[in-house]
Amino acid sequence: MSDSIINTDNAPDPVGAYPHARRVGNLLFLSGVGSRTPQTNEIPGGPIVDENDKPLDYNVAAQTEQVVANIKAVLAASGLTLNDVVDVTAYLIDMKRDFSAYNEVYAKHFTGIQAARTTLSIRNLPTPIAVEFKVIAAFSV
* 115-125 per-position pLDDT tens digit: 999 999 999 99
Q: How confident is the model at residue 141 (pLDDT cuts 50, 70, 90)?
A: confident
The yes-or-no verdict on residue 1 having pLDDT over 60 is no
* 34-85 per-position pLDDT tens digit: 999 999 999 999 999 999 999 999 999 999 999 999 999 999 999 999 999 9
Mean pLDDT in residue range 106-112: 98
| Cα dihedral 120, 24, 84, 31 sign | positive
The torsion defined by the Cα of 12, 85, 123 and 11, in degrees rounded to 10, comes to: 0
Residue ranges of domains in the chain, CATH in brackets: 3-138 (3.30.1330.40)
Does the reported pTM lie above 0.85?
yes
Sheet with strand 3-6: strands edge to edge? 3-6, 21-24, 27-30, 131-138, 85-92, 116-121
C-alpha 8/C-alpha 16 separation (Å) is 15
Q: How many CB atoms lie within 10 A of CB 4?
A: 11
Residue type, 6: I
C-alpha 35/C-alpha 103 separation (Å) is 15
Angle at 69 between CA 66 and CA 75, to 5 degrees: 145
